[in-house]
A and B are shown apart, each in its own frame.
Chain A
C-alpha cells in the first residue's frame, strides 16, 4: 500500500510555500489586513449549487464553511477596513481533476473599490504569482461571449432557443430537466470556456441576474445584469468576484430566494445566517470582493494537470 505517501513532489511543496509568502507580502504592502473566521459555523451557505458538509455531535449541528464570505462581511460591517484570508474550505461532492472537496481559498475585500478596480488588482497579483503569463489579459462580457459563439443574447434568449443551442452543441445531454441557468452554465462550461487562451488571464464580467449570488445588480438596455466577474487561465477557472451587495433587504431576499430554489430542487433548506444579515443592517461602504482557488494557481505554477497532484493528501487518501 502506497496510500500513506504524499501526492506532491518536494518542488510543488516549495512552490506552495513560496506562493503563500508572495501573497502575504503582496497584501502587506497594500495594507490589507489578514484575518481569520470560523471554519465550523451554525448556519450554512444557501447557494443551491453548493453543498456544505454537516458535522453532527449529540444535539449540535455545525457546517464546514464553503467560503468565508459571511463572516468576512461581518468584519467589514465592524469597520475592519480592507481584509484578506487564506483558508481551507469544503464543498461536498465537488470531485474531479480540477476539484478536491477540501481546498484552499484566498478571499479578499477592498473598500471603495469597483469590481473593475478589483479586476486590475487580481490581475496584478496573478501576474506576480505566475510569471509564465505572457500575453495581455482579455476581458469579455458574458453577453459578448454568447453573441460571438452562438449569436444568442444570454439575457433575453428564450428557453427554447437555449434548449436548441444546447442540443445542437453538447452531445448526450438531456435538456428536459435543465433550468435556464443550467442551460447557460452548460453552454459556458462545455463550449465557450475551452476556447480561452492559456497564455493569458481571461476575465468574464456582467453575468445574467439569475447568477448574481451576493453581487449587486444594475439595469442595462432593458434587462438586469449582475456585477460579477470570473477569472480564468485557459479554461481553468481560478476565481470569482463581485461588486458586493451591501443592502440588507436585498441580501435577505437573495438568501430567501436561494432557499426557495433549494426547495424546488428537493434539497434541504438552510437556516439563514442571522448574524450575517444583522451585520448587513450596518452602513457598509461600497466594496468589491473576490475568492481565488489557490490549488489551481499552484497547478499553473507547477505545470501539473490535476489538482490531486498539488495537494499533499487529496480526498481519496486524506
Chain B
C-alpha cells in the first residue's frame, strides 16, 4: 500500500484518512529550535468538501489515495446524477450532487472539465478557468454608456448570476473567469 511521509506533504496531495479521501489545502512545517517537528495541515474532505485542521508529528505516514484527475466532457444531468464522458474512450461517469455542488452553475454541455475520480467514482469537477456563456437575462443595454466600472446583474445560460457592464445585451455571449465569477469581455 502506497504511503506518503509528512516530508512529502504539499498542497494538492491526496490521501485517505478514516476511510475518506482528503486533499491537502495548506501544509505548514512547525519545529521548535530543538525538539519534535509537526506538520500543521489544512485538509479538505473530497467527499463532503469540509475543510479541517489537523496536526501530524513529522515523520508519520498517511495512506495515499488512488485519486486520478481526468479531462471529461460534461453531458447532462438527470436530476440525480451529473453525467460526464471521457472523450477518448466515450466512457461515461455519473457524478453525485456532492461532487458538482460547488460548480453546478458553470456546467455547460460539451465543455471540458477536470473530473477527480476516487476508485473510479467522481468526487469533484473543476471547470475551465475561462468559459464562454450566453446571457439569458439582463436589463436592456444602455448605448453610449461607457462609464468605467458601472455594472448590472445578468443571468447566464448555466444559471450563474454575474455582473456585466451596462452595454452588454441579452443573447450576447460573454467570457467569464470561473474562479472569480467575473465578466472578462464579450466573446
Query: Which of A1-9, A88-96, A114-122, A147-155 is found at the contact surface with chain B?
Result: A88-96
Option from B35, B37, B55 in Cβ contact (under 8 Å) with A94: B37
Query: Which of B25-33, B64-72, B115-123 is found at the contact surface with chain A?
Result: B25-33
Residues from chain B with Cβ under 8 Å of A211 in the complex: 34-35
Are A185 and B36 interface neighbours, CB within 8 A? yes
State in angstroms the CA–CA spacing of A173 and B53 once bound together.
Answer: 9
Residues from chain A with Cβ under 8 Å of B178 in the complex: none
Residues from chain A with Cβ under 8 Å of B50 in the complex: none
A244 at the A/B interface (Cβ < 8 Å)? Answer: no
State in angstroms the CA–CA spacing of A193 and B32 once bound together.
Answer: 9
Residues from chain A with Cβ under 8 Å of B40 in the complex: 190
CB distance from A314 to the nearest CB of B (A): 13
B92 at the A/B interface (Cβ < 8 Å)? Answer: no
CB distance from B53 to the nearest CB of A (A): 5
Known contacts A49-B36, A93-B58, A182-B36: A171-B53 contact under CB 8 Å: yes
Residues from chain B with Cβ under 8 Å of A96 in the complex: 27-30
Are B30 and A190 interface neighbours, CB within 8 A? yes
State in angstroms the CA–CA spacing of A97 and B39 once bound together.
Answer: 12
Are A190 and B55 interface neighbours, CB within 8 A? yes
What is the chain B residue whose CB lies nearest that of A188? B32
CB distance from A296 to the nearest CB of B (A): 11
A189 at the A/B interface (Cβ < 8 Å)? Answer: yes
CB distance from A45 to the nearest CB of B (A): 11
A interface, CB within 8 angstroms of B: 47, 49-50, 93-99, 170-174, 177-179, 181-182, 184-186, 188-190, 193, 211, 213, 230, 237, 239-240
Contact sample, A vs B, 21 pairs, CB 8 Å cutoff: A47-B34, A49-B34, A95-B29, A96-B27, A96-B28, A99-B29, A172-B54, A172-B55, A173-B38, A173-B55, A173-B56, A178-B57, A179-B36, A181-B36, A186-B55, A189-B31, A189-B32, A190-B40, A193-B32, A211-B34, A240-B34
B interface, CB within 8 angstroms of A: 7, 27-38, 40, 52-60
Closest 9 CB pairs of A and B: A96-B29, A172-B54, A173-B55, A240-B33, A185-B35, A185-B36, A182-B36, A93-B7, A230-B33
